[in-house]
Structure 1
Amino acid sequence: MQRLPEPELMVDPAQVLAYAAADFSGGDQRTLDRIEALLSSASGRAASDPAVILDLGCGPGNISLPLAKRFPESQVIGVDGSRAMLQVARDRANQQGLSIDLRCSTLQDLALEPVDLIVSNSLLHHLHEPGLLWGLTRELAAPGCRVLHRDLRRPAALAEVHRLQQLHCFDAPAVLIQDFCASLVAAFTPEEVQQQLALAELDGLTVEMEDDRYLVVSGLVD
């Protein structure tokens, strides 16, 4: 099935409200567990708490906020191009008493000092130019930076898209069902992501499939 890109930013108020209200706790926890495992293993190297954590495409803070709670001594930076999404994240951080640096920026315009951990959850499929993510990952990685990007992967046929929708979000609000299907069609295959990593010379990152619809890119950048 050919990839069909979707809009890069979530700015529609109804869309933002639907995502803020939705329960993504299962997938979020899997992302957090994988981050924890990556930090613990670090490919055999001695791992320490990251001084600076960068969450790209942070949305309403589903990953940024738990990381800020887990690593209170770390600087957590959440970046998103949607001001509406960031406002939700900011409100949640204030309610939870968490200190987090939230910035509205596109990947093209983002300027930061090197960081120790780079993560994203369901960002890659939004990008019209996926090389931006990998170039930024290389550019912002401090020596030994740990990286974890988790995203949907594109099925081989439209029939599989409909099967996954019926299986995983049959009773979700219409806007979430529409976005879920569009995101699957906009996602990349593991083979495409491997090619992207090769072009970016990110040899320390690997791609693996997770369950029936996700892929995970993780590893170290030296």
Structure 2
Amino acid sequence: MADAEQSLAYANADFASSNQLFVDHLLVDNPQALKDVIDLGCGPCDVMLRLAEACPDIRITAVDGSAAMIELAAQAVRAANHEARIVVMQGYIPGLALREHDFDAILSKDLLHHLPDPMVLWREARRLGRQGAAVHVMDLIRPATQEDARNIVETVAPDEHPILKEDFYNSLCAAFTIEEVETQIRQAGLPLRVTRVGDRHMLIKGALR
């Protein structure tokens, strides 16, 4: 989402339920304190702001490839007074200028379907995570047909901005099936499991060995 209008439409959309679902699952699966985490594809940073509110001692590196989106994320972090705990940076995977094995959690929500090569996410998770690091990735599940995708858009977001509705439709069509993601993580050699959560998302989670 390099386009400023597109990024703003996304930032103004109501993703509260799925964003909170992501955080709730993360906290249930990782009851121990999370300290140093990275969010790949942070968008406007709503998910990480929710996580920061729930975990007062957490340190978050929030990454997105879009300069327009990173500016919106930085504004949101400043408004929430979380600049000391959330660092936002523009960058792309692979190739982030970050130290290897430096994080105890690798997080990502709704990035996987945007990647031309989804394997880069799984390789970057292994590169950035410490041994035992939590991997927690949520993404859309591709509907069976394009008509099903249109119906989901009109059911979930009937009153959203037309730009957002078209992006949502394109994202649903670009998403993977659960079986496809299971194949990806087997090829990556990662000990992760894939489950359906909610009505249109999958959750990929586990710990690095």
Does the alignment reach a TM-score above 0.5? yes
| 1:24 maps onto 2:15 in alignment | yes
**Displacement after TM superposition at 1:162 (Å):** 1.6
Query: For structure 1, which runs of at least 5 residues remain unmatched after alignment?
Result: 1-9, 41-47
Structure 2 CA distance for aligned equivalents of residues 211 and 91 of structure 1? 30
1:148 aligns with 136
1:212 aligns with 199
- Give structure 1 regions of 4+ aligned residues with deviation exceeding 6 angstroms: none
**Among 55, 59, 65, which residue is 1:81 paired with?**
65
Contact 2:123 2:188 in 1 (8 A): yes
**Among 91, 111, 114, which residue is 1:105 paired with?**
91
**Displacement after TM superposition at 1:131 (Å):** 0.3
**Displacement after TM superposition at 1:69 (Å):** 2.6
Number of aligned residue pairs: 205
Cα-Cα RMSD: 1.2
**Displacement after TM superposition at 1:216 (Å):** 0.7
Query: For structure 2, which runs of at least 5 residues remain unmatched after alignment?
Result: none
**Among 41, 45, 57, which residue is 1:61 paired with?**
45
Letter of the 2:159 partner, please give it.
D
**Among 75, 79, 83, which residue is 1:95 paired with?**
79
Offset from partner CA, 1:70-104 (integer Å, 9 cap, x none): 22322210000111111111111111110211111
Letter of the 1:94 partner, please give it.
R
181-190 or 139-148, which moves further after superposition? Answer: 139-148
Letter of the 1:17 partner, please give it.
L
| 1:181 maps onto 2:169 in alignment | yes
**Displacement after TM superposition at 1:33 (Å):** 0.5
**Among 36, 47, 50, which residue is 2:34 paired with?**
50
Contact 2:20 2:50 in 1 (8 A): no
Offset from partner CA, 1:44-80 (integer Å, 9 cap, x none): xxxx312211111001101122222322322210000
Structure 1 CA distance for aligned equivalents of residues 56 and 197 of structure 2? 29
Which of the pair has the greater relative contact order for Cα pairs under 8 Å at 6+ separation?
A: 1
The SS at the match of 1:176 is: helix
1:43 aligns with none
Structure 1 CA distance for aligned equivalents of residues 67 and 54 of structure 2? 25
The SS at the match of 1:101 is: strand
Structure 1 CA distance for aligned equivalents of residues 94 and 2 of structure 2? 18
The SS at the match of 1:63 is: helix
The SS at the match of 1:155 is: coil
1:5 aligns with none
Contact 1:67 1:76 in 2 (8 A): no
Q: What are the equivalent positions in structure 2 for 1:128-167 lying under 5 Å apart?
A: 128-167=116-155
Matched-pair identity in %: 36
Q: What are the equivalent positions in structure 2 for 1:28-43 lying under 5 Å apart?
A: 28-40=19-31
Structure 1 CA distance for aligned equivalents of residues 9 and 147 of structure 2? 25
